Amino acid sequence: MDVPLLMVCLLLVQHPGDGWALVQDTRQVRRLYWDLSKTTEVWVRLIPEDPDGRPPVVSLVFQAFFPGRTERDPYSGLPREPTGPPARLAVRAQPLPLTVVHDLSLRFVIDGRTIELTGPGSRYRNLPCFVATEDCTPNAVEAELEPSILRSLTQRGS
């Protein structure tokens, strides 16, 4: 298999939601237009600080997805910024390298109130598999995020 064909195969496997893995920086808002899926993905990767000073164990990736064809800037040729509200918001928690996962859950404490994103009735999934089996061990969790929760998080951080 030659390199161009291998590259095409790898790109076909990727889809909206994988953009954050392409750039490993933190605290930078990034954007990627998936031309095959006609979706713009916007994300920011954060490494939360532990209030007790322990070293961090996970990174959080906040993602927004804007479906639809995106016009290109006539001067740069790059896709333009998305407009309007996103169709979907998600947050992904993934352990940092050399970190062993024992429990997969995702919860935020905002002003003393706990918001459980991976509790009963919540919309979440374990990555890369839905259920832990001998063939697949999840190493991350992704949950749908309500706009009101995201607003609370951003207001709390300012």
Q: What is the pLDDT of residues 92-122, one digit of tens each?
A: 888 887 777 766 778 888 888 888 888 887 7
Which residue range(s) make up the domain with 7? 3-157
Count of domains forming the chain: 1
- Name the range with the highest mean pLDDT among 28-32, 75-79, 82-86: 82-86
Q: What does the radius of gyration of the chain's CA atoms come to, in whole angstroms?
A: 17
Q: In 14-157, where does DSSP find H-type helix? A: 19-22, 147-157
pTM of the model: 0.77
